[in-house]
Amino acid sequence: MYHCILCASDLTSTTDHALSCQHCGQHYPAINGIRVFIPDAAASLQGYLQEQAEAEQALTAMADKLSTQQATTDSEFSARISTLLTAISTNREVLATPYQAIRAFLQANPQTPDLLAWSMIKTGTTLLDMLPYFYQDWADTADFAKVAGRIAATLNEHHPDKAAVAVLGAGACGLLHSVAPHFDRAYGVDLSLPTLLAAQTFMAGEPLHCHLPDAHWQAVTLTPPAQPPGNIELLTANVNNLPFKNASLSVVITQYMLDIVSNPLGLAQEIRRVLKPDGLWLNFSKPFRIAADLPELGMRNLAELPPVFTQLGYAVINLENHRFTYLNLEKVSAETDLLNQLVHYFVLRKTAGQADRPDSAAVQQFFIPNAPVWQTIPRLIPNRPLIFTRTKTFDGQGGVKEALFIKVMGHTFAIPTEFALLLESLFAAIDGQRNLRQLFQGQQQTIGLDEAGFLKLIYILHVLHYLLEF
């Protein structure tokens, strides 16, 4: 079922569910049985601990501020402050367990600090951010039931091969759990390993008790499924670089994916590669746009999708507009806001007569030493600018706190200073004329990466975040 994400070679089982590639030497570890298909996976796991540190710092700062307020004033908000302090404490405990599994692995397998680890796993969504989605998936919300029911109806109508399904962006794994009984094997793919670890624990029978920030930090307790399917397998991977062999999946399902993924066309090609002949792709996502589209035109409407997918080797089976109440928490808090979103639901079938995306040639060149890759000339993706923002916060007592953010295609997230400087230096040097060797030599002192690190950075910018093309 799996192959190496760098060279597409077969993998060999080692210990504790880990896999290794005898051809290129890549090793794919497993944390509590969840395989991690990320290049230089062990080093990249450090990025999750950076993510945890950021979330912990934010919660600590909030708790300290609230505690100070509670101690110095008899506020009308004292009860709410107490609730919030309890919520922060509870959520910190919820976060601790999944990240502890990653920390234990790294303690047993020490790694050299890696500047690029953060960017290899960065999604902009942490486990802390994902807690409301556990409620959405597992609290019998009407909107989730509608989505699960529509997908089940599609599977019953079109009778795809029952061998294997993959849900990309599985997150809290509610949708994965609902479709698993239709197949022999069900794979949940997500780049957030901590979220998958939390979902794994939950589906194994441990209730989830947490507080929801979007519902005024009210407490919820989620009951795990009575009898979870035994055919579910979770794995950590970037959806633009999947570890599945060619033509190995019967169905691929994407949920809230096309509107956030870096390269929708690249994802469509990757999904086609892993689908069996006549395999189905079911999508439930907000409208999206292609990187080359003029931003002024906004997102593509439903009628504009068939030519795109037909050209990529799909037959359009069904297209539907739906309304979805995103993160409906009104049962938890009467004063929570409701966001009713337009969502595209489509069903595509892989057609014959068109070659699949090449196995991992575009990826392998950045990790297997070779001369030709250094002669390639990178270009910035049109209409996909990378925007840097520096913020300053003044505390009124002479203190100043600075933070760096990047914004791509409407998505904004914080970025470490050293990585921001690295990107700024590289992007300023890309002019459509200089090849990778010239860029590396001209920026070596500024960037501070060796050849392997530089090519890994290019992989991150080209395959994972699609900011460069060749």
Beta strand residue intervals within 286-414, DSSP E: 314-326, 339-350, 379-380, 387-394, 400-408, 411-414
User: CA-CA-CA-CA torsion for 20, 26, 30, 31, nearest 10 degrees?
Assistant: 160
Distances (CA, A) of 209 to 86, 88, 133: 12, 12, 13
Return the sign of the alpha-carbon dihedral for residues 160, 164, 168, 174: positive
Both 162 and 203 in a single domain? yes
Listed residues 361, 394, 429: the one ending a domain:
361
Domain assignment of residue 145, yes or no: yes
What angle (nearest 5°) sits at the alpha carbon of residue 29, between those of residues 173 and 20? 120
From residue 427, alpha-carbon distances to 175, 262, 386, 389, 463 in Å are: 39, 18, 9, 15, 16
Which tens digits make up the pLDDT trace of 12-21? 998 788 999 9
Work out the pLDDT band at 409, boundaries 50, 70, 90: low
Tokens matching residue 298: 């906004």
Q: What is the pLDDT of residues 145-185, one digit of tens each?
A: 999 999 999 999 999 999 999 999 999 999 999 999 999 99
Place of tokens 């969502």: 343
Please name the helix (run of DSSP H) or strand (run of DSSP E) that holds residue 179, with its range, or none.
helix 174-179
Rounded CA-CA distance 443/449 in Å is 9
Range of the domain at 396: 365-469
271 located within any domain: yes
Q: What is the dihedral of CA 360, 365, 366, 368, to 10 degrees?
A: 100
Q: Which of 361, 393, 413 corresponds to the end of one domain?
A: 361
8 Å CB contact between 312 and 270: no
The residue length of the chain stands at 470
R_g of the chain computed on alpha carbons: 23
Confidence of residue 123 (pLDDT cuts 50, 70, 90): low
Q: Are 240 and 267 in contact (CB under 8 A)?
A: yes
CA distances from 325 to 9, 143, 174, 302 (A): 43, 6, 16, 19
Are residues 466 and 381 in contact, defined by beta-carbon separation less than 8 angstroms?
yes
411 is a domain residue: yes
Both 422 and 436 in a single domain?
yes
Q: Can you give the CATH number for the domain in which 324 is found?
A: 3.40.50.150
Q: Output b/e per residue, 213-233; b: 16+ Cβ within 10 A.
A: bbbbbbebebebeeebbeebb
| Same-domain pairing of 174 and 312 | yes
**Are the C-beta atoms of residues 39 and 26 closer than 8 Å to each other?**
yes
Are residues 170 and 292 both part of a single domain?
yes
Last residue of a domain, one of 361, 396, 412: 361
324-361 tens-digit pLDDT: 998 899 999 988 888 899 999 999 999 987 777 665 45
**Could you tell me which of 411, 130, 157 has the C-alpha nearest to residue 282?**
157
pTM (two decimals): 0.93
CB-based contact 91:59 (threshold 8 Å): yes
pLDDT of residue 461: 86
* CB of 323 closer than 8 Å to CB of 340: yes
Structural domain count, the chain: 2
The CATH number of whichever domain residue 388 belongs to comes to 3.90.930
| 155 lies in the same domain as 290 | yes
- Hey, what amino acid is at 91? N
Query: pLDDT digit string (tens) for 352-396?
Result: 877 776 654 567 888 877 788 999 999 988 877 778 888 888 877
Contact at 8 Å (CB) between 378 and 458?
yes
- 38 alpha-carbon distance from chain centroid: 12
| Distance of alpha carbon 195 from alpha carbon 173, whole angstroms | 9
